[in-house]
Structure 1
């Protein structure tokens, strides 16, 4: 027990107080957003559809709805909580929340292992308070589990890498093998460990250690192969998804062939400091000039410390630096061959490594200048971004990553509370995923007419609405009709960007075209407008 506590506590009691404050604050903010219980946004809807309607066997055999994919262990655990607590957002998000809690606690031994006291506390503070990491702790997607997978991999590395007994190496191999069934991205971490440690052993000519270390490495490889051929290949990245990531430049240019390709690295390093690390001062962007705003957000401090941290690790302990860098290298190589996109949520799993390097940069400057005030100042400056972002997310939860904010549930409840027995409800094709899911979860009083997607079968808006008459005739005898459409998700799974071209004319939005068509024969009685879903109650003229 004492040994376990030693791994989590510092000798300095003041640091322990600060540690407890960071962890409890991280817990409290995560719980706030968990019980705030925002509506599922479309990405969550896509995955939740399978988790709500499929049983364990169907989740295992796949494929999932809407070309979704997630680790089989994650799917089964979420399904367990849905069966236990019912079909609701709280049940869906409970497993990611648990993973978020565990990540904040289990990151402490890792920070202590790689860093000195104050930088270690800084690293824990960043992980606890990063708004993006908080967000993914209450999102029904696998990214919080992926983060926990990375943290568990590092904890097991610390515990077992210096042990040479066969029993311990088998234990390490089995534990890593289990993680691979809960986290796709953990393959980068474990493969990085395997390659990095093997190189170290070979360079040092530690042949015995090298050969016995093949036990866990081989078990990880076997687990990955089994998992891939049994499950993962069924959800493998489709050409359509790769097309979208390629179009939005989410794959690393490999090799860089132009100035634009080189700029990709600088741009994505800047963005990563914001999402998922949360280190930018987003409250300071007050200028209309984009370049000035970037400066005001203070990206240079964490970026400089990141570079200094890598240098300091190589200078102080080359072995540890290799262990930390190889997962990053493998991740970039996978992105370069278009197997792993690098944007927003896809950085979450590797964020502990970047945090350690940044905190190491603080340690380097502190040791270099021997000034306690410098260390304290940098500590505060680095925490301003995540701390203000986290607190702001509680004060203004409606603005918490507003591009992922949805009012799907609220819009359908708006209809349900005002629905009359002879009303018709028409859900346009681009909002059907949300309706179909929430209908199963909340059992609304109405059953909607589901709109047909006829874009690809049409040559223009005139032809499109003529074909849609098949849908419209279903409520031609109803005096009142509710029309529901999504103003954010204007494409469907499998669509190419802005195709068909006639549908995405810039003169007006496709959904505005739709409502204008209705207004030819109906007049609006009630309108509900939200960030993503719009509802019209129309009455025939």
Structure 2
């Protein structure tokens, strides 16, 4: 009797769905309330969100050449107005979208697979470290993931309906989504193209022409959004050059072995970011990789679903080939639900080949091992959350505020000014500050650079100690030509260390804060 009850509970999908939802929500809330310091990408966008009003967000270029949909900008600005300027107010919209995504993914994944598939898909979405990260980030990528799910869910609900009321409702949902997500255009265009092809193949002319109604509404909404808002934030020449330099655009057609390697490398990276499968045991990659290709082959058997789910990739790859959309890390986030759906189909097929429950559990645990291990790691060590996207800007400034004394002055080097300016508005400080000027492009070498910096150093006169803050991770500025000025970035040159050496002639330097990005030296000045 007890064994039968345990078996019944084990196969009770409702319980598992509830457990995964709870875990997914708790993980996001945990990192939200841990409230890590804003990292540089968040700093860049937060600068405009804090400084600008609604009209300015809609009509003026954002600081640091940032881009974000107007719906996202206005919603975050609304939360700032309600809750005040804080990291959590800035991240609240992403958190809400992250939690909603968990709920909405269940019916979407269930439609394209089955109950077991939806359970695994929810587990991947709930535990994926990059996707948890974007649910507590001041950027639009979690909103774009939710937008994809809204578009897919509306397709599930409306694609077989032919009443004008339903078609108009479908059209307005897609039209609204475009104001919150740039990448939604790939999914909407993919659905419109895929479904139109399918109607033509089936010669279902009535639905073909009727469904042009929502497709036309989407097109008009995209046109209005682009004309009045998006074109103001179109990719700048510098951003295209930057992504091109780091090979973030798909090489079509490939012209070299390096171009061919691009495909293999980015496929490999995909399972790390955004899917979150990778950890130290690299060979386990064969499982999600195999399931993805197997699922793609199986998806072809259902021609309609194949067209609907694959055309968004076609438009995304086309945009990347035209150097309109980079393919790296965060730019895959919006399409991760489709990747998970395809992978889940491959998993289900293989599990149906096994009669042994033990084998099924073993394969599932091996597949998800990276998800579990990465999750546990960042719960235990939240300050290291997603490694290269961590920052300690707030902690650095808090250290200065705590130990600042009369007769001190704080010198912020130019490469840490973005973080300082944002945090000065979030947590206003009361210490005397010199904002270092960027003289790199006015200088021909280090000596002329140092000579210009002396105007900053004039502010040290009459002071007893200098707090020198600089960013040791982000050493360039938005808009800088790559590798320029050459004298500053030449191999072996480290102007900040040279500057520290010069400052040591003024007094004794002591390192008082050393983090992943921000570093602080306290210089006790000689009698001057």
TM-score interval, normalised by the smaller of the two chains: over 0.9
Residue 518 (structure 2) pairs with residue 511 (structure 1): no
Greater shift in the superposed pair: 513-522 or 166-175: 513-522
Within the candidate set 277, 291, 298, 1:305 is matched to 291
Structure 2 Cα separation of the partners of residues 329 and 510 of structure 1 = 45
Which residue of structure 2 aligns with residue 345 of structure 1? 330
How much does 1:213 deviate?
0.3
Structure 2 Cα separation of the partners of residues 86 and 358 of structure 1 = 42
Structure 2 Cα separation of the partners of residues 370 and 328 of structure 1 = 35
Which residue of structure 2 aligns with residue 153 of structure 1? 151
Query: Structure 1: where are the runs of 5+ without partners?
Result: 1-9, 285-293
The superposition leaves residues 328-382 of structure 1 with CA deviations (integer Å, 9 ceiling, x where unpaired) of 1111111111010010111000001110111100122233455544433322222
Which residue of structure 2 aligns with residue 287 of structure 1? none
Which residue of structure 2 aligns with residue 22 of structure 1? 20
How much does 1:533 deviate?
0.6
Query: Structure 2: where are the runs of 5+ without partners?
Result: 1-7
How much does 1:466 deviate?
0.5
Which residue of structure 1 aligns with residue 60 of structure 2? 62
The residue matched to 2:521 in structure 1 has which SS?
Answer: strand
The residue matched to 2:12 in structure 1 has which SS?
Answer: helix
Which residue of structure 2 aligns with residue 3 of structure 1? none
Within the candidate set 85, 91, 94, 1:93 is matched to 91
How much does 1:505 deviate?
3.0
The superposition leaves residues 449-482 of structure 1 with CA deviations (integer Å, 9 ceiling, x where unpaired) of 1111111110111110001111111223322111
Structure 2 Cα separation of the partners of residues 105 and 423 of structure 1 = 53
How much does 1:422 deviate?
2.2
- CA gap of 1:141–1:447, structure 2 versus 1, over 3 A, is farther
Within the candidate set 425, 437, 445, 1:460 is matched to 445
- CA gap of 1:11–1:318, structure 2 versus 1, over 3 A, is farther
The residue matched to 2:437 in structure 1 has which SS?
Answer: coil
Residue 44 (structure 2) pairs with residue 46 (structure 1): yes
Greater shift in the superposed pair: 94-103 or 498-507: 498-507
Which residue of structure 2 aligns with residue 408 of structure 1? 393
Which residue of structure 2 aligns with residue 385 of structure 1? 370
The residue matched to 1:481 in structure 2 has which SS?
Answer: strand
Which residue of structure 1 aligns with residue 165 of structure 2? 167
Within the candidate set 220, 225, 228, 1:227 is matched to 225
The residue matched to 1:449 in structure 2 has which SS?
Answer: strand
- Indicate conservation of the 8 Å contact 2:186/2:315, yes or no: yes
Structure 2 Cα separation of the partners of residues 159 and 391 of structure 1 = 37
The superposition leaves residues 382-413 of structure 1 with CA deviations (integer Å, 9 ceiling, x where unpaired) of 22111221122101112211211101011111
- Indicate conservation of the 8 Å contact 1:362/1:375, yes or no: no
Which residue of structure 2 aligns with residue 127 of structure 1? 125
The residue matched to 2:76 in structure 1 has which SS?
Answer: helix
Within the candidate set 476, 480, 486, 2:465 is matched to 480
The residue matched to 1:250 in structure 2 has which SS?
Answer: coil
Greater shift in the superposed pair: 339-348 or 440-449: 440-449
Structure 1 Cα separation of the partners of residues 510 and 124 of structure 2 = 49
How much does 1:508 deviate?
4.4
- Indicate conservation of the 8 Å contact 1:48/1:140, yes or no: yes
Give the alignment's TM-score, normalised by structure 1. Answer: 0.94
Which residue of structure 1 aligns with residue 348 of structure 2? 363
The residue matched to 1:299 in structure 2 has which SS?
Answer: helix
How much does 1:23 deviate?
1.1
How much does 1:447 deviate?
3.9
The residue matched to 1:445 in structure 2 has which SS?
Answer: coil
How much does 1:446 deviate?
1.5
The residue matched to 1:482 in structure 2 has which SS?
Answer: strand
How much does 1:116 deviate?
2.1
The superposition leaves residues 289-343 of structure 1 with CA deviations (integer Å, 9 ceiling, x where unpaired) of xxxxx43xx211111110100111112x111111110101111111111010010
- Count residues in correspondence: 519
How much does 1:263 deviate?
1.4
- Indicate conservation of the 8 Å contact 1:30/1:138, yes or no: yes
Give the alignment's TM-score, normalised by structure 2. Answer: 0.96
- CA gap of 1:370–1:199, structure 2 versus 1, over 3 A, is farther
How much does 1:272 deviate?
0.4
